[in-house]
Amino acid sequence: MVYEHKGIKYKIEADYCFNSIPTHLMTGIDNNFSADYKEAMAYPRRGEAYKSAFQAKERFWEKDDIFGGISWTNQPIEQIWYPPHGMYKEKGIILSAYNYGGGMHFTQLTQEERIETAIRQGEKVHPNYRNLVEKGITIAWHRMNHMLGCSARWQKSRSGFTQEEERLFQTLRQPAGNRHYTIGDQITKHTAWQESAILSAHWAINDMLTRKSGGAMPGQRV
């Protein structure tokens, strides 16, 4: 592997590579993968997720007998999450927006515009909301360094994987040249969770060891 840092090129040699770089970024990095592997890398889309949160000056929701849970709204913020911990304390953190499929609405706004939008829409759920929250923070995954997007999206239909999607998925799951493994939630069918990213690494390690030993790992189904 060759990479550049501060204008200087370096080379690393290794027997195997476990690569968690998002596939949509890998397609823009020079490589010598096969055409079908590149095709598989280019297929997954990225979720357009967005979140924002505030520190609450007081736990105003508890006065309405809300202890944890979610308020749903048909506004772009979609959800307001209430903390299930720290009950009856002075302050708390409230998730003021969680839009998983239409986050680009917020991504295109400035930080100030995002916070104002969350406050304005939150006021329709909680009167006096503007005066009850402070210290807003927002996360738009399409602007996050080294990610430029949220979780992997393989399926274009809710009805499940098509035959073509399954073919591409299985292609990317196999090690390129028997040496390069793509890992991360992008190589599982349970995307968007740390669990899936960890399981993908476990799968790759087991597959590597199985290939090296020429058979199934102890305790592994065959």
Q: Which domain holds residue 182?
A: 14-44+172-213
Is residue 5 assigned to a domain?
no
Is residue 72 assigned to a domain?
yes
**CA angle 16–166–101, rounded 5-degree value:** 95
Contacts of 139 (CB under 8 A, 6+ apart): 50, 51, 52
pLDDT of residue 40: 96
137 with 108, same domain? yes
Is residue 185 assigned to a domain?
yes
pLDDT of residue 192: 84
**CA angle 47–51–56, rounded 5-degree value:** 170
pLDDT of residue 215: 66
Domain boundary pick from 143, 162, 191 = 143
Judge contact between 149 and 22, C-beta under 8 A: yes
Question: Domain containing 38 — which CATH number?
Answer: 3.50.50.60
Question: Domain containing 113 — which CATH number?
Answer: 3.90.660.10
Please give the helix or strand (H or E) that residue 135 lies within, else none: strand 133-140
94 with 57, same domain? yes
60 with 36, same domain? no
Helix axis angle for 163-173 and 35-42, nearest 10°, is: 110
37 with 103, same domain? no
Please tell me the pTM assigned to this model. 0.81
24 with 58, same domain? no
Is residue 160 assigned to a domain?
no
Give me the residue label for tokens 């690393």: 12
Is residue 31 assigned to a domain?
yes
Query: Count of domains in the chain?
Result: 2
Q: What is the mean pLDDT of each run of 10 residues along the chain (222 residues)?
A: 90 94 93 95 92 97 95 96 94 94 89 97 96 96 89 87 95 95 92 88 94 65 38
Is residue 1 assigned to a domain?
no
Query: Sign (positive/negative) of CA torsion 110, 114, 115, 121?
Result: positive
54 with 39, same domain? no
pLDDT of residue 222: 33
129 with 193, same domain? no
Q: Beta strands 180-182 and 17-19: pairing type?
A: parallel
Q: Is 58 helix (H, G, I), strand (E, B) or coil?
A: coil
